[in-house]
Structure 1
Amino acid sequence: MKRLDGNIAMITGGAGGIGKGMAMAFVKEGATVVIIDINEQLGLQTLKQLQEFAPESIFIQANLTEHDKLAALVNQVADKYGRIDVLVNNAHASKMSSIEETTQKEFDLSFNTGFYPTFYLMQAALPYLKESKGKIINFASSAGLHGDVNQVSYAVAKEAIRAATRVAANEFGPFGINVNLIAPIANSPGMIQWAEENPDYYNSMLSKIPLRRLGELEEDIGRVAVFLASTDSDYITGQTIMVDGGSTKLR
């Protein structure tokens, strides 16, 4: 048997980047995946690839900043498949700026696309995850752990997600639900663009990664997500898993 046979997994931001990498890894392990993304064209392209392995997978176009619609989104998935086994809160948008230049608009963007959808989707999915004794995978960042410059709105939102995840691990644990975080450094389209715009900073960052490379979307980040979504991780909860080539060593 494949490790995720029969599982129904929801992945936000699943049309591209890390989200797509996880979605591809999931379907190859037997899961049916619901990718949720605002980009319809990219979502439909990714869906075709997913359906080669999992024909019942679907794409739902959604704007995660419409927080009052998130519960209906979860119910839509549960109504279609009769269950939800895995919730992956991956989507997050932000703008780089220094503390001196950061405005309320930047904080609103980061929290409205990252923290609030993570919170409200966990809340809405809880009844279904209780039934399946399911898994939640949220996303943190070394930006929050290290206090990266020009990343204040992103770093703060990611640390808020980490805090909510730890609370959820304590509250949901008695129901048999595991709640963990991945903090990646990945070869995503956004990273590639950032590297092109900031080559010196990028090369400096790369030189500080012990493994001297970025994580591959499916093979590195996706495989760790498969582990956290599977029964192999049943005794792990409330943890931040650094999938960053050794850049951060938590103690």
Structure 2
Amino acid sequence: MGILDGKVALITGAGQGVGRGIAMAMAREGAGIAVVDRNGETAAETVTLIEDLGGGTALYRICDVRNSDEVNSCVASVVEALGTVDILVNNAVDATVGIALQDIDDEQFLISFASGPFASFWFMRACFPYLQDGGRVINLRSGTENQSLPGYGPYVAAKAAVGGLTRAAAREWGREGITVNALVPFALTPSAEADLAAQPGRLEAVYRQLSIPRSADVEADVGRAAVFLAGPDASFITGCTVSVDGGGSFFA
């Protein structure tokens, strides 16, 4: 038996990287998984991996999280198929990085917010009726909020807004039986690898600053932290941010 038996988890951006790792970890603990991604091919791959675990229930839905109507339709479709949503993981994000703040245009700035705090809010609002009395929300933040790396302005601002949304929802929804927390991972996802590849020596420099000089395993490290926040042992934890970054939160 798993600690998430009978629960349904909706995870955005679960077609790869951190989202897939969380989906796999929660599936191993018995949760039914709704893989939400804009890439149907990678989303289907995650579903197959879950089904290969043996007996896992999983489906995928294609959704552009930057569109509130699509978010509402996605949640309704998941509830129709799986009955409810007990756990919501807002992981999907899209952002342009590597551009100086003064050179960023409106669209590049807004896309970070549409896919970050706006999308997180839209999913939270749509899932709220199903999350009452025991539901869990886990939002993904970023260590770049503290580091404020040059070229990451829109992403930093959007992730900071997700932090504010997490705390506000935790305060309001606690009396509705819902906990709302956040994770800050440091993992070499495909997008992170592409970004680091354009900065020779950057990864080694990051490792030198970490207490544990490696990147997180998306399932064994980040996924298990998400399982903890979604499980019974975290029922009295809300409004908190858990850093799964090998000590990266110690430096700014």
Q: Give the TM interval when normalised to the shorter protein.
A: over 0.9
Matched, 1:162 2:163: yes
User: Which residue number corresponds to residue 25 of structure 2?
Assistant: 25
User: Which residue number corresponds to residue 46 of structure 2?
Assistant: 46
Q: CA deviation at 1:242?
A: 0.8
Q: CA deviation at 1:52?
A: 2.1
Q: Distance in 2 between matches of 1:47 and 1:124?
A: 23
Identify unmatched segments of 5+ residues in structure 2. none
Deviates more, 1:202-211 or 1:14-23: 202-211
User: Which residue number corresponds to residue 104 of structure 1?
Assistant: 106
Matches within 5 A, 1:70-149: 70-96=71-97, 97-131=99-133, 133-149=134-150
Matched, 1:242 2:243: yes
Q: CA deviation at 1:20?
A: 0.5
Q: CA deviation at 1:55?
A: 4.0
Provide, for residues 201-228 of structure 1, a one-character-per-residue CA deviation record: whole Å limited to 9, x for no partner: 2221121111010111111100101101
Q: CA deviation at 1:31?
A: 0.7
Q: Distance in 1 between matches of 2:202 and 2:210?
A: 13
Q: CA deviation at 1:179?
A: 0.2
Q: CA deviation at 1:164?
A: 0.7
Provide, for residues 162-200 of structure 1, a one-character-per-residue CA deviation record: whole Å limited to 9, x for no partner: 101100000100011110000111021122222222122
Q: CA deviation at 1:69?
A: 2.4
When the two structures are superposed, what TM-score results if normalisation uses the length of structure 1?
A: 0.95
Provide, for residues 1-20 of structure 1, a one-character-per-residue CA deviation record: whole Å limited to 9, x for no partner: 31111110000000101000
User: Which residue number corresponds to residue 200 of structure 1?
Assistant: 201
Q: CA deviation at 1:86?
A: 0.1
Q: CA deviation at 1:147?
A: 1.6
Question: Which residue identity does 2:121 align to in structure 1?
Answer: F
Matched, 1:67 2:68: yes
Identity %: 33
How many residues end up aligned between the 2 structures? 249
Q: Distance in 2 between matches of 1:236 and 1:173?
A: 10
Deviates more, 1:133-142 or 1:197-206: 197-206
Question: Which residue identity does 2:234 align to in structure 1?
Answer: S
Matches within 5 A, 1:170-209: 170-209=171-210
Q: Distance in 2 between matches of 1:106 and 1:208?
A: 30
Pairwise CA RMSD? 1.3
Q: Distance in 2 between matches of 1:65 and 1:106?
A: 13
User: Which residue number corresponds to residue 16 of structure 1?
Assistant: 16
Deviates more, 1:138-147 or 1:2-11: 138-147
Question: Which residue identity does 1:104 align to in structure 2?
Answer: D
Q: Distance in 1 between matches of 2:201 and 2:44?
A: 36
Given that 2:64 and 2:71 are in contact with CA atoms closer than 8 Å, whether structure 1 keeps it comes out as: no
Q: CA deviation at 1:62?
A: 1.2
Given that 2:22 and 2:223 are in contact with CA atoms closer than 8 Å, whether structure 1 keeps it comes out as: yes
When the two structures are superposed, what TM-score results if normalisation uses the length of structure 2?
A: 0.95
Given that 2:50 and 2:57 are in contact with CA atoms closer than 8 Å, whether structure 1 keeps it comes out as: no
Report the 3-state secondary structure (helix = DSSP H, G, I; strand = E; otherwise coil) of the residue aligned with 2:249. Answer: coil
